[in-house]
Amino acid sequence: MRRSGDQERPQPATVAAAGSTTALPIAVRQLSKAYGAVPVLDAIDLDVRPGEFLTLLGPSGSGKTTLLMAIAGFLRPDKGSIRFGEREVVRLAPHKREIGMVFQNYALFPHMDVARNVGFPLRLRRVPVAEIARRVEAALELVQLGGFGGRRIDQLSGGQRQRVALARAIVFEPRIILMDEPLSALDKQLRERMQIELRQLHERLGTTTVYVTHDQREALTMSDRIAILDRGRIARVDTPRAIYDEPGSRFVAEFIGESSFLDVDVSGGVARAGGATIRARQLPVSHGRCTMALRPERMRLLDAGEGEDLNCFDARVTGVIYQGDTLLLQTVLGDGSPVALRLATGGAAARAPAIGAAVRIGIPVEDTVLLADEPGARP
């Protein structure tokens, strides 16, 4: 964000000045790529909104990197179109796409110091030397490496190197930023801190960003929207909350968060599962079989008389696992279906039932998720 007092400075004064006013939408249409007979991208349609942080999430091999490389221009698709704003770019060389990229392995030049690494895209663009110095320092400030310009790359930690790579990606004010698993080489604590930092940086820059990860928690933490890839197709695009609360399919429910699944029989508009009648906001089928997904942290361990607005089951405890922040209670229903509960620890944990105990468990009707998938239908 530029303050009003900065207006008369020569342009561009800061990296952040690029801002959301020039953010570009990305429109991917019917994009396909095959290696031999194997389709890796299968008629992908995807819209990224201007200034949006969109994450491509999917299991290994689902096509995330291939799709990102096609957007960057390093991979020529067999078919389809990619537009940045009004401009068709599918045949445009990568360096003409004005994209900032960050990879997992940093891809820094080890023999250059930090400032020369970050200034590299500006030297390529023949920006005057004095302006390079100013913009490099501004970019380093943004990634919290102000004053590090003279350091050698091998004097930096992994997190600092990734920040240098990030500064290099934003220093020329790209219209689009693409990142492929940029945090996966970092340890868990640093990764979680960098997720927040990257998100905050995105909010300051407002640049349209496509981010790749296979880590569902990372995707939930950082994204405006998540596109879930399943074997070269987009299974779902939505906000983190919508995807988590209304996964819509068993694949998505399994991939995002934890779930237990029950087979549901629907007949005459009445759903039954695990020996109980199930109330839900809506039934995905009016007759036949479907699947109920139960999130462990939405499950309740009930006292006698409780259960008014809940779908309730009789269960037996098969495991009690203390995990610090939560207690994982494993149970089985009368028909043998396993159902897990995640309970808050503290006072309540001390009263946790013992293995073998008969318990009554329930899930609020509003958290009850029924999926159209037939039991065991997924190949």
Residues that bind Mg ion (CB under 5 A): 65
Between 63 and 119, CB nearer to ligand ADP: 63
Contact 232, 63 (CB under 8 A): yes
213 forms part of the interface with ligand ADP (CB under 6 A): no
92 burial (CB, 10 Å; 0-12 / 13-18 / 19+) is: middle
| Contact residue for ligand ADP among 23, 51, 55, 65 (CB under 6 A) | 65
Closest approach, Cβ 211 to ligand ADP, in A, equals: 12
The answer to whether residue 4 forms part of the interface with ligand ADP (CB under 6 A) is no
By CB under 6 A, residue 66 contacts ligand ADP: yes
Min dist CB 61 to ligand ADP, Å, is 4
Kindly tell me which residue out of 51, 63, 121, 362 binds ligand ADP, with binding defined by CB under 6 A. Answer: 63
| Max Cα-Cα span within the chain | 76
Which residue's C-beta sits nearest to Mg ion? 65
Helices then strands, counting H and E runs in the chain, come out as 9, 20
Half-sphere exposure of 309 (CA within 13 A, CB side): 5
Residue tagged 């930090």 (tokens): 114
275 touches ligand ADP (CB under 6 A): no
| Binds 311: which of ligand ADP, Mg ion, none (CB < 5-8 Å by kind) | none
Helix ranges restricted to H, 178-223: 188-205, 216-222
Considering CB distances under 5 to 8 angstroms, the limit depending on partner class, which of ligand ADP, Mg ion, none binds residue 58?
A: ligand ADP
Does 282 sit near ligand ADP (CB under 6 A)?
A: no
Dist CA 261 CA 118 (whole Å):
49
Nearer to Mg ion, 53 or 103 (CB): 103
DSSP string, 26-45: EEEEEEEEEETTEEEEEEEE
Q: Say whether 119 sits in a helix, a strand or coil.
A: helix
Q: Report the site for ligand ADP in 25-54 (rule: CB under 6 A).
A: 35, 40
Cβ atoms 88, 82 nearer than 8 A: yes
Smallest distance, ligand ADP to C-beta of residue 368, A: 32
How distant, in Å, are the alpha carbons of 131, 227, 282, 367 from that of 125? Answer: 12, 33, 57, 54
Nearer to ligand ADP, 184 or 221 (CB): 184
Q: Which does 61 bind (CB under 5 to 8 A by kind): Mg ion, ligand ADP, none?
A: ligand ADP
Q: How far apart are CA 314 and CA 110, in angstroms?
A: 62
Scanning residues 353 to 372, which ones bind ligand ADP (CB under 6 A)? none
62 belongs to the binding site for ligand ADP (CB under 6 A): yes
The option from ligand ADP, Mg ion, none interacting with 178 (CB < 5 to 8 A, set by class) reads none
The contact set with ligand ADP (CB under 6 A) reads 35, 40, 58, 60-66
